[in-house]
Chain A
């Protein structure tokens, strides 16, 4: 039976962290262990690029929707989407107006949601639903009913976006937001659908000699980071400190069949692994 502890003017509940400063490194270390509980270990996160897929319109979106309608019969998926060129336009106007970083962060998520609504309108006949912000605990219900949820991809940092390491553009965008969802909920893997065959050492749209990475570990990638990156840098930084997610695959969504192959475990695109992350 926990008891109340008094005597120093404050009333404490007895616990290991009672009276402790939560800035004390020794105290903090005592809260850690090698693993986290993995809540949904059989779920795959699918992220669909904004610029790379949605901004290309019908001829890029519809074949992918057909493929999703098929693979969702066999896999537990949570889908998230990027915002694409409208996010960049929002930021360009907001920065020209001089809005603070937190103000910009508050605005941008609306553009991703437009793509989420479009995707859901197309996928709903096959069983999909937009998932509200923190409704993760509904996931078992969704999967039992054959429904694929479409998650909100931009994290809720909003006005409270921390000052960026460089510049004024918020650091926590949809790539980070979706990664974090997969990490915290202990998903099996994350697949990022883009318009290139994988991750390259530089932007293949500008450099014909760009080389694609095949299978690579996160440590190898961080040792020689690409000059232009297809995913937000904050995703890699966060993943380096994270414990759960072991595998991120980057594939080309303009080539039909690629997503199906990736979900079947085939080596398509670039597979980044983090072997030291332990699974329960």
Chain B
């Protein structure tokens, strides 16, 4: 047996001899954008959902108006204070990041279900991460798909730096959805006008940054940023999603303006 090894039966292809580690391939790769006209917009958990009706309803009204104007909107939503609560307790219990990421799936899911119920009479449909394949149907019917922003990584979420908190949370989910669908700009509705030199809720001297690149932002080495660090790291190597737009959804008109492609808030570009 050991002297005569059975042969590998290989299907001939351009990658059949590749180890698939690194980019050893010389393939002619011409990717296409799957649904580039879709606007993926995130409603923040702590910043919007935890404010309840006063913040949520006016934002949804602008989303409904955008949909009426023919804009294909997909709503993703964050977690908020309940996520922070379970992360605190799970961290104390020294849970691995993969378990904390799994716990982190449930709260944005609740929030997505809440938004779906409110939006139902305007075409709100609840969607799971693997339901992108149904998106053409939902959008052609004039629906407003709503889903959790949490990536489906769960137990497979990697640890990052000196932290137990999953590095890919609902901002990453918005960015990665845009990257898969081939959308240029990921839109984030928060309760601040965008990027500041520090957390404006804690430091009144923090100043607003209307525009910057991912590289500039990384070079600033801020202790705190308005968007998840993984997203800023991915942005320069993204193929489709080249811009993040972050703005204050509590100011009337901002959501509709952003969905119509206008520059409000901060734009972080690749």
Contacts and interface: CB of A to CB of B under 8 A. Distances in A.
A273 B2 CA distance: 28
Interface in B25-57: 25, 27-34, 46-47, 50-52, 54-55
Given A19-B201, A92-B27, A168-B31, A159 B129 contact: yes
A96 B87 CA distance: 42
A112 to B, nearest CB: 13
A52 B6 CA distance: 10
Interface in A1-40: 2, 8-13, 15-26, 28-29, 31-33, 35-37
Interface stretch (A54-62, A69-77, A215-223, A264-272): A54-62
Interface of A, secondary structure class, is loop
A57 B6 contact: yes
- Chain B contact residues: helix, strand, loop or mixed: loop
**Which 5 pairs, one residue from A and one from B, show the smallest C-beta to C-beta distance?**
A167-B23, A184-B98, A102-B180, A17-B84, A28-B163
Interface stretch (B7-15, B66-74, B207-215, B255-263): B7-15
A207 to B, nearest CB: 14
Interface stretch (B110-118, B138-146, B154-162): B154-162
Most chain B C-beta atoms within 10 Å of own C-beta, residue among A22, A29, A161, A173: A22
Q: Which of B14, B52, B94, B238 has the most CB of A within 10 A?
A: B94
A63 B227 CA distance: 52
A92 B224 contact: no
B108 interface: no
Contact of B27 (A28, A95, A183): A95
Contact of A93 (B13, B98, B179): B13
Contacts of B239: 100-101, 163, 168
A31 B96 contact: no
A15 B6 contact: no
Given A9-B51, A100-B180, A28 B161 contact: yes
